[in-house]
Structure 1
Amino acid sequence: MCFYDQQIFTCGDHKWGRFRAHCNKEYRTGETCGMKLIFEASRVGTKCQMCKKHEVIWRKIAQAHERVKRWESEGINPVSTDKEWDNIAQWQRELQDINMMRHTKMRSI
């Protein structure tokens, strides 16, 4: 139960900061017990890296959908649209991975 700073992002996620103080259970110099308690929590005015990455991927998917829609209306090569659909599917898998990481992180608190 050693004490650490904590940063809380606008999205509600958090990040552990630097080490601040030892607890009374740890007697070895320079070692921590492994349990983290909050010494000081500070709010950060930005979103976490996972949320930023999530937004970037959503923008890529929206742009790809727009391109596919335009290409299909113009009658452009269907091979290009198939490749773009493959890219969209890959980005959607990345979004699922990000959501899974977020849920496991929130469950581990």
Structure 2
Amino acid sequence: MCFFEQSLWACGLFKWGNMRNQCLKEKRIGKTCGLRLIYATTYHKGPCKICQDLSRKSRRVQKMNSDIARWRLDGNRPATIEATGEELRLLQNSVRNLQTRHLAGTIFGSKRQSENDAKPSVKRRVVARRPAVGEQL
């Protein structure tokens, strides 16, 4: 039962902060037992980083859609419409990826609960054995 700081945004997304108190179960310095408890929560009124990126990119998508509609009415910019359409598809994929990350609960590239904290890595040594007398390879 290790205690960590937590940041919580208005959208419900949270991020684990620094470790504040280590439990007695884990004897190694800097290692955790895998159970994260909240020491203190910092509330942020504004949107999280993912929400900011989503709003910025969705405004850009709206602008591109209005530009393409205006250019189609003019009828004299087929190359610009095609290039902007391709850029619009890439931007829409990026928006979908951000929405998926937000629903999955990841922020700033880290996951809500790290599997590495729960299971310490063990390096195993592979030893080649000699064949017994009369045994074939």
Shared fold by TM > 0.5?
A: yes
Where does 1:1-109 land on structure 2 (aligned, <5 Å)?
Answer: 1-105=1-105
Greater Cα shift, 10-19 or 23-32: 23-32
Distance in 2, Cα, partners of 1:35 & 1:80: 54
Distance in 2, Cα, partners of 1:49 & 1:104: 14
CA RMSD of aligned residues (A): 1.9
Query: How many angstroms does 1:87 deviate by?
Result: 1.1
Distance in 2, Cα, partners of 1:30 & 1:96: 37
Query: How many angstroms does 1:99 deviate by?
Result: 1.7
Contact persistence 2:5–2:18 (CA under 8 A): yes
Query: How many angstroms does 1:93 deviate by?
Result: 0.6
- Report the 3-state secondary structure (helix = DSSP H, G, I; strand = E; otherwise coil) of the residue aligned with 2:19: strand
- Report the 3-state secondary structure (helix = DSSP H, G, I; strand = E; otherwise coil) of the residue aligned with 2:105: helix
Instruction: Provide TM-score, normalisation by structure 2.
Output: 0.71
Aligned partner letter, 1:57: K
Query: How many angstroms does 1:105 deviate by?
Result: 2.4
Greater Cα shift, 94-103 or 46-55: 94-103
Distance in 2, Cα, partners of 1:11 & 1:105: 11
Query: How many angstroms does 1:40 deviate by?
Result: 1.0
Larger Rg: 2
Distance in 2, Cα, partners of 1:25 & 1:76: 71
Unaligned runs of 5+ in 1: none
Aligned partner letter, 2:70: R
Greater Cα shift, 40-49 or 23-32: 23-32
